[in-house]
Structure 1
Amino acid sequence: MSVSGAKPKPHLQAVREGTFRADRQTEGARFSPVDPVEPDWAEIFPSASRGALAKEAKELRDYAATLWARIVPALVISTGLTETQRETVTDYVITATRIWQGERALTRQGMVVQTERGMVKNPWTSVLNAYRSHFRSLTGELGLSPSSASRIAAPDTGGDDDDTFD
């Protein structure tokens, strides 16, 4: 059952913005400050024995590793992402990688493909719609869209020694 109204701000965001109120907000779960460990992309995108599928699997692993290296350090700094929250960002990287794979397949195969029943819409179009919907929800969850990022305030880097981010 969903709750109506705006999503509550994460605790650290409310503290950074100076809007935290103990009578209205809770600190929530606290996780240990350990950077997320990158998954083994070879397990997630296993390689075929040889040929074009093996090449594509390697390209998927490389793309996922590059995306992880670009996204995770920023999330650790901006949102305090920890190892216990790794599955969400892993799911984001897998989803983005599958979208990349699907777009490449559409470019190679076209929007309409020949089957035994004649010309039909490429199945990747339906798959991509589902992945894009999931991608939008993960992007909002992680604060990676322009609108969701605008709701996250950068940590205050003033000279305050009591600051949470010292």
Structure 2
Amino acid sequence: MAVPGRKPKPYIAAVREGTFRPDRNKEGVRFPPVDPVEPRWADILPGPDPEVLRARKTAAELWGRLVPVLTYSAGLVDTQRETVTDYCVTWAWITMGNRALAREGVVIDGDRGKVRNPWCTVLSQQRQHFRSLTGELGLTPASAQRIAAPQPDDDDDDIFD
């Protein structure tokens, strides 16, 4: 169940920004600083269909552009890779749907005459999901303002060193 009010700021973001307060922020979970490993796209998008092969390529290209940037700018670690994987797959679905709509049209012939192409519904849902993931990853100008870059620390008592 959703909790009303503002989303709590992640602990590390509050520390980086100097706004940490013990009464408002909790440390939460600390993940080991391991770079994300690219998933096997054939496992996530299986099948020999040319559209699926193209979707795998689209997802892999987006991963290659996005993960190095997020690792550097937002401190993305391997434990959090599923969110980025979902982002890449969602984008692959959107591009696949856009191509299908360009080929077939928004209105197609159905059993009872002209109907709306099912890809319209799929694209609407995928775009909504894409927007939520974009905000979660800090990839819009507004959400990027909320993310502070990780600062290298010289803390020798870190458990992940």
TM-score range, shorter chain: 0.7 to 0.9
Identify which range, 136-145 or 97-106, moves more after superposition: 136-145
**SS class of match (1:126):** helix
User: Are 2:13 and 1:3 equivalent residues in the alignment?
Assistant: no
Contact 2:108 2:116 in 1 (8 A): yes
Contact 2:36 2:77 in 1 (8 A): yes
**SS class of match (1:27):** coil
Instruction: Say how many residue pairs are matched.
Output: 156
Q: TM-score, normalised by structure 1?
A: 0.86
- 2:29 maps to 29
Q: Distance in 2 between matches of 1:40 and 1:156?
A: 31
Of 66, 88, 100, which aligns to 1:105? 100
Q: Distance in 1 between matches of 2:60 and 2:15?
A: 32
In structure 2, stretches of 5+ residues that fail to align are none
- 2:87 maps to 92
Q: TM-score, normalised by structure 2?
A: 0.88
Q: Distance in 2 between matches of 1:57 and 1:132?
A: 19
Contact 2:75 2:150 in 1 (8 A): no
Which amino acid is the alignment partner of residue 128 of structure 1?
L
- 2:129 maps to 134
- 1:39 maps to 39
Q: Distance in 2 between matches of 1:78 and 1:132?
A: 24
- 1:18 maps to 18
- 1:72 maps to 67
Of 145, 148, 151, which aligns to 1:150? 145
Percent sequence identity is 60
Q: Distance in 1 between matches of 2:126 and 2:52?
A: 18
Question: 1:23 deviation in Å?
Answer: 3.0
Q: Distance in 1 between matches of 2:118 and 2:26?
A: 45
Deviations 1:70-126 (A, max 9, x none): 111111122211111111111111111101110111111111111232111111001
**SS class of match (1:7):** coil
Which amino acid is the alignment partner of residue 149 of structure 1?
A
Identify which range, 13-22 or 62-71, moves more after superposition: 13-22
Cα RMSD after superposing both structures: 1.8
User: Are 2:117 and 1:119 equivalent residues in the alignment?
Assistant: no
**SS class of match (1:119):** strand
- 1:57 maps to 52
Question: 1:57 deviation in Å?
Answer: 1.9
